[in-house]
Each structure stands twice: as structure tokens, then as C-alpha cells.
Structure 1
Amino acid sequence: MRLSSLVFLMATMAAALAGCTYKGVPDPQVSTRDAEWMAQIPAAQEEPRNGRYIVDDPTGEAPGTIVVDTKQRFLYLVQEGKKAIRYGVAVGDEAYGWAGTSRIARKAEWPNWNPPAEMKARWPHVRPMNGGPANPLGARALYLYEGNRDTLYRIHGTNEPEKIGQAVSSGCIRMRNIDVIDLYNRVALNTKVIVR
């Protein structure tokens, strides 16, 4: 590559990066158990698009609100100053998608999984499972309720990180385990969740 071409390429890259309106968010501290169990889940090639970034808030919602954009496959945690933390997610495929407004009524670390009756009917091989690296709920789960009624939908980690950015779940919002730990640490019970 000629020097003039290299200089042009570097200048173009610098200009492109200068226009970015986001910055990365450091990983949260994790416990020894979290680190050991997450290490047992096969790593996936990470798409930079699905990383954890501070971005300009595209939602217009109040700070502290979680907004899931199912079309773009991002979850936003709205911050002060018209900013948001954006996480890549996997969402429900078209047949199982869910939208609405709910609240976080329960939080759990490495939760047990008890598949709902509808899922058992579709996939008779699924069985309840204790929390751990093989469990499809991953490292954390945030249980979504409408009023006092459990929607049966969750924001949770995953043992299939390669599917982040896809529409593949049965309606739940899946996150990389390190991302769901970060979100879990930042939100409280009764946090408003909007799934669009």
C-alpha cells in the first residue's frame, strides 16, 4: 500500500471514529462463582454492534426506565442527561414475541428454570433445571410483571451467547451474562420496562 493511500485510510478512519456518539462501559465486578460458571459457557464471536455502550438516548423515556427495541435488538437503560446504556439482546422470534409495559417484580442470581406449560407443549424434552452454566436463564434473571401478574417473560442471561442480536427466543429478552450482571446491578425492583 502506498503511503498516500495509507494516510488517506487512516484519516478516513479517524473521521469516522470522531463522529461516534457512544463509548464503552467497563465490565462489572463479578464473584468467583460468576467467573467460574461463566467460563464454562462456550464463548461466542462478539459483534461490536452488540457491545455495552453509553449512547444518546433514543427512547425519550424517564431516567431509570428499561426500553427494549425488538426490531433493532437493543435494550436501553435510560440515564440522566439524555444518555442511555445500550446492550445487544436476543428477542422473541415473530411467533413468540411480546410487547408491552411491565415492571421488575423479582430479581434472581443463577436462577432455577421451570419452563412454562406452553414451552413444554412445543418441546416435550425440556425439563426444569437448577441454576448454573447449563441453565438457559444464565447468570441473572429479571422477572417481568404487569401489575401483580407474572407475564412469564424475563430479561435474563444465556448459555447461547452466539444468538445475541437474533430473534430466536420464546419471547424472553436474552443478554450476554456479563451484560445481564451489569444491568442487574444497576436496576431495582419495580423498575419500569417497556418492550416495543
Structure 2
Amino acid sequence: MIGAGTAVTTLAGCSTTARETVQPAAIPLENPALASIYGPMPDERFPLPAIPYQKIDRRYHRQLVSDPTGERPGTLVVDTANFFLYLTQEGGQAMRYGVGLGRQGFEWAGKGVIQYKRQWPRWTPPDEMVARQPELIPYSIANGGMEPGLKNPLGARALYIFQNGEDTLYRIHGSPEWWSIGKAVSSGCVRMINQDVVDLYSRVPDRTVVVVASLPRPAAV
């Protein structure tokens, strides 16, 4: 089992600062299974466009793998060393997703729970973030936050992590910035491709245990 300590800092909240740059190694040919996984989702409240999965390093595609975490089935594990999120399953397997991490995310480690989750959530930056970035004042708590939508930093779904009954301000959430997967690009949170967070949302109930830790690099990815 992964050792889980206490949180060492309070996160600053989620924001979006990524820029599309040089892409990592890609799958050169069409893959029907991945085309289905990362295809358009027209029935969403805000229809999601297809993701160019060929431009994303294949290690970060959603896939079933051998569970490296040692955690009980049904546990979420955020691997901050390798930019993976695991949902552990029976039989020694886990569903693995690629994630992007906020810079502050590397300073938080421990165990919490998914207190609640939301579809197409509003985004409300904490007061500390607004103080640093006055352009966020229209989305402050006093102003009711940012409306849901394709440009909202929390994307199509958000899972809210609490520890010892307190909000960590640490979220697992969607993002349209698919090129940020596998990178540290934003303040605070764990970002996923929108299609992946929709899938995860459907698999994870409230009160699911979440472990945030740094794991050894997998032998094969």
C-alpha cells in the first residue's frame, strides 16, 4: 500500500495557463478503439469535440493496466511522479488515465475522499488567487464564479477532494487543453482530457478514497 501522509500545503485552486507547444511522440495511424474513446460527445450539455489522440503520448491514453499501487479496489491514486491517475479494480488491475498537474500539486500528498462531484461545474477561484490575478475578479466568490462551458477551467466534470472534513481545494477535473496532459502547467489541480473525466465520473461514487503520492516509474508504459 502507498504510504499516505498529511497534506503539507493548501492549494491555490485550479486555473488554466497552458500553451500548445511541441507535441510528444504520437501514434501515426488511425486507431479505431482510441477514435471511439476520444471521439466527439455531441450529447453532452456542451458538446465535446473529438480529441486528436494521435498527438498525445500513447502512455497517457486511457487503458487497463496491472495495478502498481497496492491499494484496495475502488481507490483513486494520483501518481504525481508519472502524471497518471489510477482507478484500482478487482483482479490486480487498474484503469489508468493520463493527467496534467498544477505546480502546487506536487506539494500536496496524502489521503482524502471524493466528498462530492459535479457535472459541468462552475469555477470559483479562491480569494488568494484573485488577489494575485485581478483579471479573475469577475469570477470571484462574490461574483458567483464562472459559468459552466467549454472554456471553464474545470471542464465537463469535477471531483472535489476533502481531507479530515476540510476542502483541500484539490480537484480532479476536465480540461479542453489536451496538450497539457503529462505536464505541470497550472495552479493547483489534477486535469484530465474531458472524455476521460466523463468516463471516470461514471465509475467513481462519492466518498471514494483518493491517495496522492509519487510512485516509481512503471517498468513498461
Which TM-score band applies after superposition, normalised by the shorter structure?
0.7 to 0.9
The question of whether the paired residues in 1 share the 8 Å contact of 2:86 and 2:97 is answered with yes
Moved more, 159-168 or 106-115: 159-168
In the alignment, is residue 102 of structure 1 matched against residue 112 of structure 2?
A: yes
Q: Partner residue of 2:173?
A: 156
Q: Partner residue of 1:111?
A: 121
Deviation digits for residues 61-112 of structure 1 (CA, Å, limit 9, x no counterpart): 0000000110100000001011000000001215864221110011100100
User: 1: CA distance between counterparts of 2:65 and 2:184?
Assistant: 23
TM-score normalised by the chain length of structure 1: 0.79
RMSD: 2.4
Tell me how far 1:118 sits from its aligned partner.
2.2
Q: Partner residue of 1:169?
A: 186
Structure 1: give runs of 5+ residues left out of the alignment. 1-22
The question of whether the paired residues in 1 share the 8 Å contact of 2:41 and 2:47 is answered with no
The question of whether the paired residues in 2 share the 8 Å contact of 1:92 and 1:168 is answered with yes
Structure 1's 51 and 140: CA in aligned 2 closer, same or farther, altered over 3 A? same
Of 124, 130, 153 in structure 1, the residue corresponding to residue 147 of structure 2 is 130
Q: Which has the larger radius of gyration?
A: 1
Q: Partner residue of 1:188?
A: 205
Of 37, 47, 56 in structure 2, the residue corresponding to residue 27 of structure 1 is 37
TM-score normalised by the chain length of structure 2: 0.70
Deviation digits for residues 20-65 of structure 1 (CA, Å, limit 9, x no counterpart): xxx97x739956135x5322x9857322111001001000000000
User: 2: CA distance between counterparts of 1:170 and 1:154?
Assistant: 11
Structure 1's 120 and 101: CA in aligned 2 closer, same or farther, altered over 3 A? same
The letter of the residue matching 1:186 is R
Regions of 4+ moved over 4 Å: 28-31, 41-44
In the alignment, is residue 73 of structure 1 matched against residue 88 of structure 2?
A: no
Of 77, 91, 102 in structure 2, the residue corresponding to residue 92 of structure 1 is 102
How do 1:30-41 residues align onto structure 2 when only pairs under 5 Å count? 32-34=43-45, 36-39=46-49
Structure 1's 51 and 69: CA in aligned 2 closer, same or farther, altered over 3 A? same
The question of whether the paired residues in 2 share the 8 Å contact of 1:138 and 1:158 is answered with yes
The question of whether the paired residues in 2 share the 8 Å contact of 1:139 and 1:180 is answered with yes
Moved more, 139-148 or 57-66: 139-148
Of 68, 72, 77 in structure 2, the residue corresponding to residue 62 of structure 1 is 72
Structure 2: give runs of 5+ residues left out of the alignment. 1-32, 140-144, 214-221
Identity of aligned residues (%): 49
